[in-house]
Amino acid sequence: MADVVTTNQFKSGMAIEIDGQPFTIVESQHVKPGKGGAFVRTKVRNIATGAVLDKTFRAGEKFERIHTQSRKIAYLYSTDDEVVLMDNETFEQVSVSPAMAENALKWVVENMEVEVMYLNGQPFEVTPPNFVELIITQSDPGVQGNTAQGATKPATLESGAVIQVPLFIEEGEKVKVDTRSGEYLGRA
């Protein structure tokens, strides 16, 4: 018997079946209007196609939950056609499409661990760690006199992502970044 979940139990990352198609919940919001019944506004990603859809469900509506597995795997390299990952325990290499790993590639460099979600033995999503420590490869020097409270400047990380950092941060420094928001957290 498959697990059944209601809209009240929705959490980000949960996999459910909608109209016979597998979806993961990107975000959900419970809405209780002044008039009428409560409903749940969600963003769901179709696992097969990768398309993100906005869906609205009545509160308490039931769905079949799909069980997924998650494994930590090392990122090796990427080409225009594929992203190659390797399981550190079995040394098995896994190849995924660049579109599937697009968000993770922004924040990782070679040999860094990523999380790969599997459905029925097939990878469907690659996510970076929540926090990464990367070296700044390019950043303009802070302008003297431009010391207003919280002044920032753009900096390019070794992975290629551009973030905002305080003026005192220089090229070659290692910084800690929150990959969910792209926010600078401090020196590493």
Tokens matching residue 98: 């660049």
Please, which pLDDT band fits residue 113 given cuts at 50, 70 and 90? very high
Please, which pLDDT band fits residue 148 given cuts at 50, 70 and 90? low
Q: Which domains does the chain have, with CATH numbers?
A: 4-66 (2.30.30.30), 69-127 (2.40.50.140), 131-187 (2.40.50.140)
Mean pLDDT value across residues 51-79: 89
Any idea which of 37-51, 72-86, 171-185 has the lowest mean pLDDT?
37-51
**For residues 1 and 22, what is the distance between their CA atoms, to the nearest angstrom?**
17
pTM, 2 dp: 0.71
What residues pair up with 76 in beta bridges, in sequence order?
none
Three-state SS for the chain is: CCCEEEHHHCCCCCEEEECCEEEEEEEEEEECCCCCCCEEEEEEEECCCCCEEEEEEECCCEEEEECCEEEEEEEEEECCCCEEEECCCCCCEEEECCCCCHHHHCCCCCCCEEEEEEECCEEEEEECCCEEEEEEEEECCCCCCCCCCCCEEEEEECCCCEEEEECCCCCCCEEEEECCCCEEEEEC
Please state the separation of Cα 166 from the chain's center in Å: 25
Mean pLDDT value across residues 137-145: 77
* For residue 90, pLDDT beyond 50: yes
Mean pLDDT value across residues 156-171: 89
